């Protein structure tokens, strides 16, 4: 359970981190000009545990579209990688890099110096330390959306374009609190906006009368006086939701 909670926290941290780095890297990777320029394209996600042999193996598999036997040693993997990349202009994307060990990166670079001129290695990271270790003097730092842009995006996704202004004020307030926590990250805004749209839709599509009767049966409806009608109050509750 502890491990799952940590994974959940990491997922939330990744979602709310103001970068969008992977999404941007994917746009570059899939661009037609990029496809036409490079003879080999490889994409590899980097785990926190930096295993040089495993990483070289995965890069080789990605570059050849073939599974590589686990029994091969590091030098054998290097020979195969060289056979496939030597003289070819390649693009290698290393996504979500965490490792800050200079020696490990130097070791990996030694296995990648066989491409033709124009070969590129693009990496994404949330750590400025990683960028320094990998020798990047001026990393491209992504910024989040401005507050008004973030709310416009959320409003369109959660309530439908132009409809947010007629929604219940409480929902608008909740939505703005959610947007604030997204810190301008488009991916987070899209995820939470779509989720809120789904929940709002579920409420409206639910059998209103049945729901009110269930509330009454469970004694969730509170009357302020004996003259109040339970169904009328239930209707008010529903509209507030």
Q: What CATH number does the domain containing 110 carry?
A: 3.40.50.300
Q: Which of 43-47, 62-66, 138-142, 147-151 has the lowest mean pLDDT?
A: 138-142
Mean pLDDT within 109-125:
90
**Among 2-16, 38-52, 96-110, 149-163, the least confident range:** 2-16
Helix axes 186-205, 2-16, angle to 10 degrees: 110
SS3 content of the chain, % helix, strand, coil (to 5): 60, 10, 35
Burial of 179 (0-12, 13-18, 19+ CB in 10 A): buried
Give domain status of residue 59, yes or no: yes
pLDDT digits (tens, 9 = 90+) for 182-228: 888 887 888 888 887 877 666 665 666 777 777 777 677 777 666 67
Half-sphere exposure (Cβ direction) of 162: Cα atoms closer than 13 Å: 0
| Same domain as 27, residue 105 | yes
Does pLDDT of 177 surpass 50?
A: yes
CA dist 123 and 21 (Å) reads: 9
Torsion on CA atoms 36, 42, 46, 50, rounded to nearest 10: -130
Provide the strand spans (E) within the chain.
Answer: 40-45, 90-97, 120-125
Residues 194 and 222 grouped into a single domain: no
Print the domain residue range for 24. Answer: 19-133
pLDDT for the residue 19 = 47
Based on the fold, state whether residues 125 and 38 are members of the same structural domain.
yes
Instruction: Render pLDDT for 79-110 as a digit per residue (tens, 0 to 9).
Output: 999 999 999 999 999 998 888 888 988 899 88
Q: How many domains does the chain have?
A: 3
The predicted model gives 147-170 an average pLDDT of 75
Beta strands in 62-209 (DSSP E): 90-97, 120-125
In a domain, 84, yes or no: yes
- Range with the poorest average pLDDT among 40-44, 138-142, 223-227: 223-227
Q: How far apart are CA 239 and CA 241, in angstroms?
A: 5
pLDDT reading at 48 higher than 90: no
Domain check: are 96 and 180 in the same one? no
* Assigned domain for 8 exists: no
Which SS3 state, helix, strand or coil, does residue 90 take? strand
Do 153 and 199 belong together in one domain?
Answer: yes
Residue 36 maps to a domain: yes
């Amino acid at each position: 359970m502890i491990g799952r909670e940590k994974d959940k926290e990491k997922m939330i941290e990744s979602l709310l981190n103001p970068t969008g780095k992977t999404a941007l890297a994917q746009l570059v990777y899939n661009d037609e000009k990029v496809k036409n320029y490079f003879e080999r394209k490889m994409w590899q996600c980097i785990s926190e545990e930096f295993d040089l042999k495993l990483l070289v193996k995965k890069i080789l598999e990605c570059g050849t579209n073939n599974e590589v036997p686990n029994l091969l040693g590091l030098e054998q993997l290097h020979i195969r990688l060289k056979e496939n990349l030597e003289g070819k202009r390649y693009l290698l994307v290393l996504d979500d890099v965490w490792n800050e060990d200079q020696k490990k990166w130097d070791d990996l670079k030694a296995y990648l110096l066989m491409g033709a001129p124009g070969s590129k290695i693009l990496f994404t990271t949330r750590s400025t330390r990683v960028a320094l270790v990998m020798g990047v003097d001026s990393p491209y730092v992504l910024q989040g959306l401005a507050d008004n842009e973030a709310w416009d995006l959320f409003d369109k996704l959660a309530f439908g374009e132009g409809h947010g202004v007629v929604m219940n004020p409480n929902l608008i307030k909740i939505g703005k609190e959610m947007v604030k926590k997204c810190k301008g990250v488009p991916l987070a805004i899209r995820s939470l906006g779509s989720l809120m749209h789904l929940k709002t839709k579920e409420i409206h599509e639910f059998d209103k009368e049945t729901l009110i009767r269930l509330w009454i049966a469970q004694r969730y409806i509170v009357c302020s006086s004996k003259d109040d009608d339970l169904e009328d109050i239930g209707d008010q509750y529903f509209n507030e939701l």
